[in-house]
Amino acid sequence: MAKVLVKGNEAIAQAAINAGCQCYFGYPITPQSEIGEYMGEHLPEMGRVFITAESELASINMVIGAGTTGTKAMTSSSSCGIALMQEALSAMCCAEVPGVIVSVMRGGPGLGNIAPAQGDYFQALKGGGNGDYKIIVLSPSTVQEAIDLTYRAFHIALKYRNPVMLLADGVLGQMMEPAEFGEYPYKDPDVTQWALDGANNRPARNIVSLHMPEGEMEMLTNRIFKKYEEVAKNETTYEDYLLSDAKLVLTAFGSVARVAKAAVKRARDKGMKVGLFRPVTLFPFPDKDLHDTAKKANMILDLELNKGQMLLDVRSAVFGACPVEFYGRPAGGLLTPDMIYNKIAELYAKLENTTKTEAGVR
Amino acid sequence: METLVYKRPESLLKDGHFTFCPGCGHGVVLRIIAELLDEFNLQKDTIAISSVGCSIFLEKFFNLDVAGASHGRSPCVATGVKRCKPDKFVFTYQGDGDAATIGFNETIHTACRGEHITTIMINNTNFGMTGGQASATTLVGQVTTTTPAGRKAELTGYPLHAAEIISKCDGTAYAARVAITSTKNIIQAKKAIKKAFEAQINGLGYGFVEVLAACPTNWHMTPVESVEHIDKVIETVHPLGVFKDITAQENK
Ligand SMILES: Cc1ncc(C[n+]2csc(CCOP(=O)(O)OP(=O)(O)O)c2C)c(N)n1
Ligand code: SF4
Ligand SMILES: [Mg+2]
C-alpha cells in the first residue's frame, strides 16, 4: 500500500476502522474532535455504530457495554473528558472488559487551553480511578506509529481483556505526515468463552465489578496483577536512538521525542555522545531496559511537556544508577530543538568537567 | 389430582435466593420480569444490566447473562450491548437513586435516542442500599436520614417525576408508573412491563416502567404499613398511569 499524507487524528480513526472497530462512542473536545467527525462520516455507511454520547461518562460506559459482548469498540477524548472516564476505567480493569481509549492531551489543569501538552501522563498511568488497576498505555510519536499502535491497541485490549489507551498530544493529532496504513496485522483471540450473548446452551455468565465475599476481591486483584506481569513480559517496547555509547541519555515520550531526536542529531554532529531512550509502552514501562541504559551512561535528562510526570517512572527505573535531570514546560509551552540542544550542551559540559575532575583526583 | 401452585421461572436461578429485607418490593418485580422473559421465551437471548443499589446482585437471582454497570450508567452499558447485539433482549434494572438521580441524564438521553432497550426503575423514594438518604424522588415532607425533619421544598426542592418526563422524549415508545401493592396492581404492573418489553421486541423504541415499591427498613414501617403508605401517600405525588404508549396512539 502506498504512503498517503494524513493528519494524526484522522490516521487514528482510519486505523481503528481498519482494525475492525465496530463502534465509536464519543463527545467532542479539542484537539481530537476530528476523530469523532471521521467516525461519524464513515462508520454508519459501513453499517457500524457511531453515537455522540451525552457525556464522556456515557461514552466510556457504552464502550463497556460493547466490550462485554466481545466487540471491538473505542472512544476518544482529551484531558478533562478523560478525567470523567476514570471510574469506568477502574471498573473495566476489575471486570476485565476490553476497550480502546484515545487520549489526545491538551493543556491543563482545569479547562486549561487547547495547546499541545503532556500533563495527563499521571492521569493515564497513575489513574484517577479507584483501587489497584493498570491500563495499558501506548505512546506514538509519529503519525505512522499512531496507526501501528492503534492496530496494536485493539489487539491487546482483546488479548488481555483490559482497557488500552493511546496517549497522544495535540501536536500529533493535528500534524500532517506521510504514512502507510497496511493491513491490520494481528489475529485476534476467540471471545466466545467469556463474552455475553445470552445464556444459550451454556450456563449464564456475568461481567461485574462488585465482589463482596471476604477475600474474593483480594484474590481477583492478585490474579489481575499476575496478568499485568504477563503484559510487561510480552509487550514492553521502547526505541533506542544512538544509545550504545551515549554518556548523556535523553528520555522523552510522544511528540517531544521527535524534537529531542533533532537536538540529539545536532549534538552528535558536534561530537557529543548523546542518545535518546523513548518508551513506546508507558505501561508496561521499560524500566529494566532503562536501568541497563542508565548503568552505562553518566546522566539522564528527562524531557516532558509538563512539570515532571514520567520523571517519577524514569527515576524509579534508573534507581540511582546515574543522576537524573529534568527539563520541561507545562500547559502548552513547547520545547524547540534549540532549547533542548542548549540544555544538552550545558549538561554535557558539566559532565565533561566532572569526569575530568574525577580523573584528576584518581 | 395434583395442582401446580408454584413453578420457578427458567429465568430465575435454581439456587438463587433473594437477599432483600422482609416486605421489600425488589423481589416481586424481579419475579415478574423472570415470568415475562419465560413467557416470551427470552431466557437464552437476554442480557440484563444490573445497577448500583439493593438489587446490584442480579447475577445471583437471574439465570441470565448479566453485565454490571457503575452507579447511574446502566442505560449506557445497555446501549453498547444492544447496538452490538441487536437481536438480543436487553434491559436495565435500576433504583430511583440510580436511574432518576445520579443517572437521570443517561436515562433521558437513552430515551431520546429511542434505544431499543427497556428500563425497569424501582422507585422506593430513597437510596435504600446506603441507608435511606433522600433521593430525587423523595416526597416533600418525607423523613429520611438526610432530611430528618422531613424534605423541605425551600431547601431541596421537589420530587422528580421520572415516568412523566421520560414519556415526553420522542424516542420513548412506552412509559408508565405502576405499583405492586395489591393483586390487582401486580397484574397491572405485569401488563405494563409486558408492554414495555414488547416495545423492544417489536423494535418500537425505549420502554420505561417505574414501579413504586416498598422499602420498609428505611421507611421504618412494617410491610403492611408500607403498602398502605404507597397507596395513600406516595401515589398522590407519583400517580399511577400509562403516560405514553405509541401502540395505543396507533390504534386510535
Ligand atoms: C458513584 C457512586 N456514588 C455513590 C455510590 C453509593 N451508593 C450505592 S447504592 C446507592 C443508592 C442506590 O439507591 P437506589 O438506586 O434508589 O437503589 P435502592 O437501593 O433504593 O434500590 C448509592 C448512593 C456508588 N456506589 N457509586
Ligand atoms: S433496604 Fe429497602 S430497598 Fe433495600 S432490600 Fe431493604 S427494603 Fe429493600
Ligand atoms: Mg431507591
How many domains is chain B built from?
1
Q: What is the mean predicted confidence (pLDDT) over B153-172?
A: 98
**Does A206 contact chain B (CB < 8 Å)?**
yes
What's chain A's length in residues? 362
Domain boundary at A178, A208, A235, which? Answer: A235
Give kind and range of the element (H or E) at residue B96. helix B96-96
Both A217 and A242 in one domain: the answer is no
Q: Are A320 and A282 members of one domain?
A: yes
- Mean pLDDT across the stretch A263-283? 97
Position A316 pLDDT exceeds 60:
yes
Please give the tally of structural domains in chain A: 2
In the predicted model, what is the mean pLDDT of residues B39-64? 97
Is pLDDT at A97 greater than 90 in this prediction?
Answer: yes
Residue A134: the pLDDT is: 98
A67 contact residues in B (CB cutoff 8 A)? 80
Is the link from the previous residue into B86 a cis peptide, with omega within 30 of 0? no
Asked if residue A197 lies in contact with residue B88, where contact means CB atoms within 8 angstroms, the answer is yes
Query: Are the beta carbons of A10 and A38 closer than 8 angstroms?
Result: yes
**Cβ–Cβ gap A64/B47 under 8 Å:** no
Alpha helices in chain A, H assignment, sequence order: 8-18, 33-42, 56-68, 79-83, 86-95, 121-125, 143-160, 170-174, 216-235, 255-269, 287-296, 310-318, 337-361
Which of A235, A270, A292 represents a domain boundary (last residue)?
A: A235
Domain span holding position A49: 4-235
Contact A200 B45 (CB under 8 A): yes
Residues A224 and A261 in one domain: no
Same domain, A213 and A260: no
Round to whole Å and give the CA distance between A20 and A270.
47
A158 and A30 within one domain:
yes
How confident is the model at residue A362, as a pLDDT?
41
> Do A26 and A129 belong together in one domain?
yes
Looking at CA atoms only, how far is residue B152 from chain A in angstroms?
31
Residue of A27, A46, A54 to mutate for B, most B C-beta atoms under 10 A? A54
Ligand 1 binding site (Cβ under 6 Å of any ligand atom): B 52-55, 71, 95-98, 122, 124, 126-130, 135
> Is B65 in Cβ contact with A206 (below 8 Å)?
yes
Is the confidence at residue B167, as pLDDT, over 50?
Answer: yes
Query: What is the structure's pLDDT at A29?
Result: 93
Whether the Cβ atoms of residue B96 and residue B123 lie closer than 8 Å to each other: yes
* Statement to judge: residues A206 and A343 lie in one domain: no
Which residues does residue B174 pair with via DSSP β-bridges, in sequence order? B207, B245
A222 & A242 share domain: no
Largest CA distance in chain A: 80
CATH code, domain with A70: 3.40.50.970
* pLDDT > 70 in chain A, percent: 98
Mean pLDDT of chain A: 95
> Maximum distance among all alpha carbons in chain B?
63
Grouping H, G, I as helix, E, B as strand and the rest as coil, residue A93 is helix
Q: How far apart are CA A62 and CA B83, in angstroms?
A: 9
Cell of residue A271, nine digits: 561530537
User: Does residue B247 carry a pLDDT above 80?
Assistant: yes
Considering CB atoms only, which of A54, A64, A88 is closest to B109?
A54
CB distance B217 to ligand 2 below 6 Å: yes
Q: Residues A95, A19: one domain?
A: yes
Share of chain B above pLDDT 70, in %: 96
- The interface predicted TM-score of the complex, written ipTM, equals 0.95
**Is 80 exceeded by the pLDDT of residue B22?**
yes
Q: Domain ends where: A235, A258, A280? A: A235
Host H or E run for residue B237: helix B235-237
- What is the C-alpha separation between A252 and A271, in angstroms, rounded? 21
Tell me what pLDDT residue B1 has: 58
Give the pLDDT score at A347. 96
A163-209 per-position pLDDT tens digit: 999 999 889 988 999 999 999 999 999 999 999 999 999 999 999 99
Residue predicted with more confidence, A333 or B98: B98
pLDDT tens sequence across B137-146: 999 999 999 9
What pLDDT score does B16 carry? 82
Q: pLDDT by residue (tens digit) across B190-219? A: 999 999 999 999 999 999 999 999 999 999
Tell me the nearest-neighbour CA distance from B107 into chain A, angstroms: 10
Which atom of ligand 2 is nearest the CA belonging to B219? 2
Q: Does B116 touch chain A (CB under 8 A)?
A: no
pLDDT number for residue A193: 96
A214 with A108, same domain: the answer is yes
**In this complex, do B79 and A205 lie within 8 Å of one another by their Cβ atoms?**
no
Residue B33: give the domain boundaries.
26-251
What cell was used for B61? Answer: 437471582
Task: With cut-offs at 50, 70 and 90, classify the pLDDT of residue A356.
Answer: low
Residue A355's pLDDT band (cuts 50, 70, 90): low
- Specify the CATH number for the domain of residue B233: 3.40.50.970
State the CB neighbour count (10 A cutoff) for residue A41: 11
pLDDT range class, residue A116, cuts 50, 70, 90? confident
Q: How high is the pLDDT of residue B131?
A: 97
CA A305, CA A188: separation in Å to the nearest integer?
35
pLDDT reported for residue A170: 84
The verdict on A333 and A299 lying in the same domain is yes
Considering chain B, what percentage of its residues have pLDDT values greater than 90?
Answer: 92
Has residue A361 got a pLDDT over 90?
A: no
Please report whether residue B16 resides in a domain: no
Q: Indicate the pLDDT class of residue B249, thresholds 50, 70 and 90.
A: low
Provide, as residue numbers in chain A, all residues whose Cβ is less than 8 Å from the Cβ of B13: 204
- Same domain as A274, residue A129: no
Q: What is the pLDDT of residues B185-196, one digit of tens each?
A: 999 999 999 999
Considering the domain boundaries, does residue B21 fall inside one? no
Q: Would you place residue A333 in the very low, low, confident or very high pLDDT band (cuts 50, 70, 90)?
A: confident
Between CA B52 and CA B58, with CA B55 as vertex, the angle to 5 degrees is 100
DSSP string covering A238-273, please? EEEES-TT-SEEEE--THHHHHHHHHHHHHHHTT--
Buried/exposed A74-101: b ≥16 CB within 10 Å, e otherwise: bbbbbbbbbebbbbbbbbbbbbbbbbbb
Please answer yes or no on whether B63 and A199 come within 8 Å at the CB atom.
yes
CATH of the domain at A285: 3.40.50.920
